[in-house]
């Protein structure tokens, strides 16, 4: 059990996702308001049976219905896509999950008609998973610092030198790891409290156990953030002078499973690694700054991972502009008609004058 906790914490510290967890997700917006979502991911070999796809057995378990169309690409890579009548419908079918829970988002498409062209404004805001953690990150750093650490905006280090940036980032990393350790300790005590009646030889009552949580978290905050030195089970042993809690974590399968499931939240947050690509009608003319989108290989790309979902809200927003060819043709027709009418009026006027002169003669 201790080994599993150590692994999950190390994963959080390294901030590098497993290759099997990487997903390419392309959101395609069409001019008529319909859309398509394409995802490409590496599946477990169990997902492929005689060259066909068993969507419910892939290692990521991100496709939970039969409305997606699948294609096998490069042995174990699977491409799945689905068409939607609106961004709302597409958002409801978000295929991403964190710790078994669907990642939620709200999407919308706005159109601004400007005769010769139309602006298309696509916005997708992802629901924060920060409430999953009882102790907020803002307990350890200011909001702007926290937002920068999670998403890269706002740029709180503008004007800093490289050395100053390093010191600033080091302090943020230290604060972030205190946040992680505090929540891990809080989670461990909550799991034990949920099954407290099953703990034999508990040194204190459940009420006293929970009442000591704040004090223990303060102790953890004073400890090193080095993951090799943070063991919440050991802290409980040192505080309550007993192995009763540790023993139950090892021997009771119910408590052990509950604790592992909770730790899986931290691991799955790290494993969520999505290259979010956005394709829109016409050409992109504006990128919403907070989304931090970049052009690469002719496409607009965003980073979408568990860290960014810890922010209060993570919004992807861009504006594109598409030509209205029909408006161009209609305008050209009107201009030609107007020119033709003018020529007709001039010729008709001359003909009338000539007719009047002939009558006078």
Per-position DSSP letters for 9-56, written without gaps between them = HHHHHHT---GGGEEEEEEEE-TTS-EEEEEEEEPPGGGEETTEE-GG
69 φ, ψ to 5°?
-100, 135
Tell me, what's the pLDDT at 185?
93
Confidence of residue 69 (pLDDT cuts 50, 70, 90): confident
Taking alpha carbons only, the member of 185, 208, 186 closest to residue 196 is: 208
Query: How far is the C-alpha of 222 from the C-alpha of 238, rounded, in Å?
Result: 15
Q: What is the pLDDT of residue 233?
A: 87
Helices 232-240 and 213-222: crossing angle in degrees, nearest 10, is 120
Token pair, residue 217, equals 């978290």
Most confident residue range from 4-18, 45-59, 192-206, 272-286: 192-206
Q: What separation in angstroms does the CA of 159 have from each of 143, 154, 156, 225, 289?
A: 19, 13, 9, 28, 19
Q: Residue 84: how many CA atoms within 13 Å on its side-chain side?
A: 21
Confidence of residue 21 (pLDDT cuts 50, 70, 90): low
Give 93 or 284, the one with higher predicted confidence.
93
Q: Is the pLDDT of residue 274 over 70?
A: yes
50 CB contacts (<8 Å, ≥6 apart)? Answer: none
**pLDDT mean across residues, the chain:** 82
Q: Provide the H-helix boundaries in 93-161.
A: 143-151
Residue 9 confidence (pLDDT) above 70: no
Q: What's the pLDDT tens digit per position in 153-188?
A: 888 888 889 988 999 899 999 999 899 889 999 999
Kindly tell me if the per-residue pLDDT of 4 is higher than 90.
no
CB 270 within 8 A of CB 11: yes
DSSP conformational letter for 132: G
242 and 201 Cβ atoms separated by less than 8 Å: yes
310 with 141: CB under 8 angstroms? no
Q: Which pLDDT value is given to residue 338? A: 86
């Amino acid at each position: 059990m201790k080994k599993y906790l150590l692994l999950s914490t190390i994963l959080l510290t390294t901030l590098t996702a497993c290759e099997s967890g990487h997903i390419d997700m392309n959101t395609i917006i069409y001019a008529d308001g319909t859309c398509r979502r394409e995802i490409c991911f590496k599946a477990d070999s169990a997902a492929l049976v005689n060259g066909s796809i068993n969507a419910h057995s892939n290692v990521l378990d991100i496709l939970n219905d039969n409305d997606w169309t699948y294609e096998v690409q490069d042995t174990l890579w699977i491409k799945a896509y689905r068409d939607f009548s609106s961004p709302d419908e597409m958002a409801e079918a978000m295929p991403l999950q964190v710790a078994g829970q669907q990642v939620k988002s709200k999407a919308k498409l706005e159109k601004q008609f400007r005769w010769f062209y139309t602006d298309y404004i696509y916005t997708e805001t992802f629901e924060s998973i920060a409430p999953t953690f009882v102790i907020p990150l803002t307990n350890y750093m200011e909001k702007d610092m926290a937002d920068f650490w999670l998403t890269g905006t706002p740029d709180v280090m503008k004007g800093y030198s490289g050395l100053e940036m390093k010191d600033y980032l080091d302090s943020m990393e230290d604060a972030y790891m205190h946040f992680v350790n505090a929540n891990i300790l809080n989670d461990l005590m909550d799991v034990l409290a949920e099954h407290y009646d099953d703990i034999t030889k508990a040194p204190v009552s459940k009420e006293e156990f929970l009442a000591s949580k704040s004090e223990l978290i303060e102790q953890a905050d004073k400890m090193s953030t080095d993951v090799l030195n943070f063991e919440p089970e050991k802290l409980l042993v040192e505080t309550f002078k007993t192995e009763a809690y540790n023993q139950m974590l090892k021997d009771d399968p119910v408590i052990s499973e509950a604790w592992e499931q909770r730790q899986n939240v931290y691991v799955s947050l790290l494993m969520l690694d999505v290259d979010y690509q956005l394709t829109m009608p016409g050409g992109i003319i504006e990128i919403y700054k907070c989304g931090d989108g970049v052009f690469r290989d002719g496409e607009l790309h965003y980073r979408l991972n568990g860290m960014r979902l810890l922010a209060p809200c993570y919004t992807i927003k861009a504006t594109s502009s598409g030509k209205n060819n029909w408006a161009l043709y209609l305008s050209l027709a009107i201009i030609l008609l107007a020119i033709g009418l003018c020529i007709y009026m001039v010729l008709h006027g001359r003909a009338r004058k000539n007719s009047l002169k002939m009558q006078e003669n």
